[in-house]
Amino acid sequence: MEKGNFVDYIRIFCRSGKGGAGSLHFARTKFNPKAGPDGGDGGRGGHIILRGNAQLWTLLHLRYHKNILAENGENGSKNNCTGRDGNDVFIDVPLGTVAKDEETGEVEAEILEDGQEVIWLPGGRGGLGNSNFATPTNQAPEYAQPGELGIEGYKYLELKILADVGLVGFPNAGKSTLLSVMSAAKPKIADYAFTTINPQLGIVSYRDNRSFCMADLPGIIEGAAEGKGLGHRFLRHIERNSVLLFLIPADSNNHTREFEILHNELEQYNPELLNKKMIIAISKSEMLDDELKQEIEVTLPKSIPHLFISSLANQNISKLKDLLWEALTAED
């Protein structure tokens, strides 16, 4: 899963810094050998902080940094001097990254904006020095607090692509070709299944200098929700898309059945995906005449907008952009 340049899932060991211990110290001066407790507090342990970076699009840079250790805080010292806080560790991640605990599977953080910072694993608090415990009845406390331990454990970072439109279809449905026509992206295009094994992003230009982001995602096969094919690795990227564009090739043996399989795989993986706006595009339609288009049209779901397109002949590409923009900007 991590052999290519696109890494969207990685396991790392993290440990935030331990807090410094409070100091147990009593002041002794030339003229006052019993000046009282003056032990300072320990410094805070270093945090591990996730930071969003719009310039990143993969977790590849973390492949060789799988042990993330923050610095411990310094111990307190005499004269009520507080120990220095441990240095924080910043982990830059692409937008759309989700942080999870390996043991519980709980989502602990989510990065969606450039520059967003989330304290993922807080450092341990520094212990209090003995000067904090002096009272009128106990003027020479013989104790100070130790620092708190940091938090450690194995964690997962998982990337879910942020895009306005996600292309959904069987392998070799023409998704990569459509993306290359609608944007400046240059995904790999070939006449065999699973040409795309990593998500590809393209910015689609629209009228009046407006634009939206489209993702060419690896193709679904029947059983993807159970992990077949590229399975869950593909399906999790769909969760971020506002609009799903189902691409069904004109030469499909059964257009309705193909859509139902795609629809069913999304439902099995996450029923909430069915609440997204959907559009059906019949690709490679340059091979269809009007009569064949009408035969296909009557079999398609009436509740979902559809369009016959051809990436090679540039047929109805502008209309498709209009349809997508309308879906993206429509109020729920």
- Per-residue pLDDT of 248-280, as tens digits, reads 988 888 888 889 988 888 888 788 888 889 999
Q: Tokens in use for 247?
A: 């691409």
- Per-residue pLDDT of 292-307, as tens digits, reads 889 998 888 888 999 9
**AA identity, residue 125:** R
Strands 26-27 and 36-37, sheet pairing: antiparallel
Task: Give the pTM.
Answer: 0.70
Q: Is 258 in a helix, a strand, or coil?
A: helix
The whole-number pLDDT of residue 320 equals 92
Strand ordering across the sheet containing 243-249: 200-205, 211-216, 165-168, 243-249, 277-283, 306-308
Asked if residue 216 lies in contact with residue 200, where contact means CB atoms within 8 angstroms, the answer is yes
Q: CA 125, 128, 132, 137 torsion: positive or negative?
A: positive
Compute the half-sphere exposure of residue 77: CA atoms within 13 Å on the CB side of its CA.
5
* Fold observed for domain 9-159: Spo0b-associated Gtp-binding Protein; Chain: A, (2.70.210)
CA 243/CA 245 separation, integer angstroms? 6
Statement: residue 2 has pLDDT above 60: no
Task: Give the 3-state secondary structure percentages of the chain, helix then strand then coil, rounded to 5.
Answer: 20, 25, 50
The whole-number pLDDT of residue 196 equals 45
* Superfamily of domain covering 165-329: P-loop containing nucleotide triphosphate hydrolases (3.40.50.300)
Q: Tokens in use for 224?
A: 């993807």
- Comma-separated ranges of CATH 2.70.210.12 domains in the chain: 9-159
The whole-number pLDDT of residue 226 equals 46
